[in-house]
Amino acid sequence: MRNIFILLSLLFNLTISAQLKFDYPIIDIEPVELIVNYSLQYQEDSLNPNFIKQEDMVLLLGNNMSKFLSKNLNRSDIIMAQITNMAQFQEFVLDPNKPFPKIGYRIFKNYPKGKLTYIENIPSSTFKYMEDLDIFNWQLTGDTATIKRYKVQKAITDFGGRSWVAWFSPEIPHNDGPYKFNGLPGLILNVHDTRNHFTFELLSIEKPQNRMMIDIVDKDYVETTKSSFFQAEDAFRYNIVSIAKEAGLSSDEQQHVSRNMSERNNPIELKRK
C-alpha cells in the first residue's frame, strides 16, 4: 500500500518547488577522520511495542567536531548538492529509487565551539537551534564488556525525560557518540533508554577511502530555541489534516495521514525544554 505520509511530503515538495533556491553555498568545516555507522531501532508509537522501526545512521568524526545524521539523509544531501536547476530537482523528487530518510535531523557537535547545533526541516522552513555541548551528567560504572572487539565500559545518565545506558570505548579517544550523546572518555558504541524505545547500536568504524569533508549548507535557517522548535513541530502535527487537504489528498487520505501522524507519538526527547 502507498505510504500516505510519503505522498504528502512529495506533493508538498512539488507545490513549493518553484520557490526553492538550489545554489546555497556549502561550507567545508574540517576533514572526516572516522566514519562511525550505527543502527537505530526505535518505537515510534508508544502504544505499539511490537512495531519497531529501523534506520541506519552515520557519525562523521573530525578532529574538533562531528556531524550526525541518517545515512539516507547524507546520501540525499550529496545528491542535492549537485542539483542546479528545477528539472533536476523534480527528477530527483519523482525518482522512486532515491534515498528516503525516516530521520530528518542533522546534529553538529562542537560547532560552534562548545555548542551543539541541531537542524531539522518542518515544512516549509528549516529550523536551527543551539544547546550547550555539556548537557549530560554521566555516572560511570565498573561494568565492562566487548563490542565489535572493542573493550567498553558502562555509563548511565538521565536526558530528555528518559534514563539512558551507554557503553563507551576508551580505546577510541573521541568523547562523542550517536544523537546528542557526548562527554564520555571514549566513543559511545551503544546507547539505549531503559525502556528500549530507542537503541543506537554500532555497526562499523572505518576511515574514509577518499578525502571527505564535514560540511554544512549556508542558508537562511529559522534560528530559534529548542522549546520554540518543538512548538513549531507540534503545530505542524496539529494542522496535518489541513496541510493534507491543501496538498490535494482525498478525505480518506487525509484521515489516513491523521492516523499516521497520531502514531508518531514517542519522541526521543520527552522533555522538550
Question: Is 162 part of any domain?
Answer: yes
Question: Is 273 part of any domain?
Answer: no
Pairwise pLDDT comparison (239 vs 19), residue with the higher score: 239
Place of cell 544523537: 179
Residue 22: band (very low, low, confident or very high) from pLDDT cuts 50, 70, 90: low
Helices (H), the chain: 4-16, 71-80, 86-94, 226-238, 240-246, 251-262
Task: Please count the structural domains in the chain.
Answer: 1
Question: Is 271 part of any domain?
Answer: no
- Domain around 55: 4-262
Residue range 116-131, pLDDT digits in tens: 999 999 877 899 999 9
Question: Is 22 part of any domain?
Answer: yes
CA count, 13 A, side-chain hemisphere, 70: 16
Residue 232: band (very low, low, confident or very high) from pLDDT cuts 50, 70, 90: very high
pLDDT surpasses 60 at 19:
no
